[in-house]
A and B are shown apart, each in its own frame.
Chain A
Amino acid sequence: MERSVAGRLGFAVSERVSFLIKSGIFLSICAATMFVALAASYPAVHDTLHNVRHALAIVPCH
């Protein structure tokens, strides 16, 4: 997929840059997921994961 995208757009990136881009996207997804799961105040998510949040000792909840 990476090669096909690079071929279509007409540019190629080094392996190091490729890793950084992929890692950045992966970290962003992880951070967003953790924010929703552990910090969002949306009632459905909060109520479902309330006990998980308290069980982790350092995750603030109410």
Chain B
Amino acid sequence: MSLRVLVSLFIFFFALLFGSGVRAEELNVYFKTTPRSQLLRPFVDPTDLSLLVTAADGRPIKHGTVAIRLDAPSPGSFFSTDIPMIEGTLLNQMQLPLREGRANWKQLFPIRGEYRVSVDVISADGMKASKAFAFTVRENEKKWLALGAFSSALFVLGFIAGRVFTGTGVRAVPVVLTAALLSAGISGAPQTEGPPKGVLEIEPAIVGRPSAVRWKLAGDGGGGARAATLTLTITHLEKQKVVFAVDRIAVPGEWSMQYNFPDGAEYRVVAAGYVAGQAPVRNEQVVTVTGVEPPASAMMPVLAFFTALVAAGLGAGRWSKRRSRTQR
């Protein structure tokens, strides 16, 4: 009997102590991609990502901020993706204001795999919530087709060579390697233009390492904390694709994020700030991202796989030739 009383008291005090903590977690966070994640493909089109934060009653919270962290897919067990330096890295880290409970941004996903979004919400009245989401971006079917065709070609090449090499007669196997050598000069020092009212700063960008992208209103009167709305767009110049964008987010005169440029190419970063009663402030900068050579650990499995295909073709060709000879 006394044991029951003790257990009841323990449960009562446990509920008293920890029950309030559970009740404080009253924010609901929803994450959505448009188009839906099943339709996403790497390096095709930027995706609209949106977060919705609601209170316990289901209504979007009026004000608040959300800290977002987007991580790239982890490296595969054997084959890498076409951009291995991005695998397992931080793609994007930023803080966005919530507008009617929503935060939206555009992002181009560079590789296939499972992306992870970590969200930390703080509402204006101090309520906090954290949530993690994961979604998978599947590889482009055209790439799998190209890989299949290339693998088949290697097998056929080995097959023919295996037939030729089998037997007494030796025929020369022409191996023609045609390589059109075109050299393209890398140029393009970062250039800054635009009215002096805004400052756009971008750290030297290297693939696989997030760079700080900062925008702020220049102090033409020391108004560093002036409210503004900011539209920032990063465009891949060669592919002419938007890889990241935020549209008219409310910022206190400055905004920054960590952004991982997905490949070694040129990007245009355009920031447009709008301050009430003033002309828009536009800044533009072209960033040349330094590419990093993939590690040998990413190269070797692929080369071994392709060479093994040729070897398999050789074996099949030899088997085929010997079989046809014995049947005669």
Contact = CB atoms under 8 A, between A and B. Distances in A.
Nearest to A2: B170
Per DSSP, chain B at the interface is loop
Interface stretch (B129-137, B171-179, B241-249): B171-179
Contact of B207 (A26, A33, A39, A62): A62
Interface in A2-39: 2-3, 15, 18-19, 22-23, 26-27, 29-31, 33-39
Interface in A34-60: 34-39, 41, 43-45, 47-48, 53-60
Interface in B147-168: 147, 150, 154, 157-158, 161-162, 165-168
Given A15-B168, A59-B302, A62-B263, A26 B173 contact: yes
A60 B325 CA distance: 42
A38 to B, nearest CB: 7
B82 interface: yes
Contacts, number: 118
Contact of A48 (B157, B162, B167, B182): B182
A27 B311 contact: yes
Per DSSP, chain A at the interface is helix
Contacts of A1: 170, 172
Interface in B270-328: 291-294, 298-299, 302-303, 305-307, 310-311, 314, 318
Contact of A62 (B147, B294, B311): B294
16 contacts: A2-B170, A15-B168, A23-B161, A30-B158, A31-B303, A33-B175, A43-B183, A44-B183, A45-B181, A48-B181, A57-B143, A58-B147, A60-B299, A61-B83, A62-B83, A62-B264
